[in-house]
């Protein structure tokens, strides 16, 4: 009976295994700096789809935080679903970021490594005179997919 079935209907169909998600690798300074600069460019340009792709999705996203105006502190800072709407709101208020310095601080070597960095920038908006901010961040780097930020924190200097 099985022979008749195989002859008439062909070999059984086997579904391919689902792809295994790529694991992050240690970052190098250039890729993290380029990622931070891409974020600044997308932020200033109001490119919300790009901003959505630059930041890690859940469960990898940890936080995006800043002080007032537009205060975004924990627990809200850790809410990935509210991130792009927050960027849209700040963009509508004319917020712009201008990076002045960037420093790569090496990788944290754990099962899923990530690169650490710090920066200084000027933050300005309709509700904020140009103000110097200092900050830190963390990025996950990949070889076959887009690198992502999963931490960005800044406060006035």
Residue-wise pLDDT for 37-90, tens only, equals 999 999 999 999 999 999 999 999 999 999 999 999 999 999 999 999 999 999
Sign of the dihedral through C-alpha 46, 48, 50, 55: positive
Please provide the size of the chain in residues: 157
> Is residue 35 predicted with pLDDT exceeding 60?
yes
Please report whether residue 144 resides in a domain.
Answer: yes
What are the strands, taking DSSP E only, across 4-147? 63-65, 96-108, 114-125, 128-140
Please report whether residue 12 resides in a domain.
Answer: no
Please report whether residue 13 resides in a domain.
Answer: no
Please report whether residue 147 resides in a domain.
Answer: yes
pTM (2 d.p.): 0.86
User: Cis omega before residue 75 (within 30°)?
Assistant: yes
The number of beta carbons lying within 10 Å of the beta carbon of residue 131 is 14
Q: How confident is the model at residue 121 (pLDDT cuts 50, 70, 90)?
A: very high
Structural domain boundaries, residue 37: 24-156
The stretch 6-33 carries a mean pLDDT of 78
Q: Residue 79's pLDDT is what?
A: 98
Please report whether residue 1 resides in a domain.
Answer: no
The stretch 8-32 carries a mean pLDDT of 78
Number of domains in the chain: 1
The stretch 29-43 carries a mean pLDDT of 98
The number of beta carbons lying within 10 Å of the beta carbon of residue 95 is 21
Please report whether residue 46 resides in a domain.
Answer: yes
Please report whether residue 18 resides in a domain.
Answer: no
Going by the DSSP 8-state scheme, the letter that residue 40 receives in this structure is H
Q: How confident is the model at residue 91 (pLDDT cuts 50, 70, 90)?
A: very high
Q: Residue 14's pLDDT is what?
A: 62
- Give the residue with greater pLDDT, 125 vs 12: 125
- Give the residue with greater pLDDT, 3 vs 91: 91
139 is written with which tokens? 């990025």
Please report whether residue 73 resides in a domain.
Answer: yes
CATH code for the domain in which residue 59 is found? 3.10.450.50
């Amino acid at each position: 009976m099985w022979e008749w079935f195989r002859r008439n209907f062909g070999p059984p169909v086997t579904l391919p295994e689902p792809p295994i998600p790529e694991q992050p690798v240690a970052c190098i300074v250039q890729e993290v700096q380029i990622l931070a600069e891409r974020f600044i460019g997308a932020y200033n340009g109001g490119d919300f789809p790009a901003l959505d792709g630059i930041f890690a999705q859940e469960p990898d996203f940890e936080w995006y935080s800043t002080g007032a105006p537009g205060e975004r502190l924990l627990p809200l800072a850790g809410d990935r679903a509210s991130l792009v709407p927050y960027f849209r709101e700040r963009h509508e208020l004319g917020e712009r970021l201008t990076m002045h310095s960037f420093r790569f601080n090496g990788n944290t070597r754990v099962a899923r490594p990530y690169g650490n960095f710090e920066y200084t920038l000027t933050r300005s908006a309709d509700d904020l005179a140009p103000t110097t901010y200092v900050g830190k961040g963390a990025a996950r780097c990949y070889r076959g997919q887009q690198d992502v930020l999963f931490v960005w924190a800044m406060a006035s200097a």
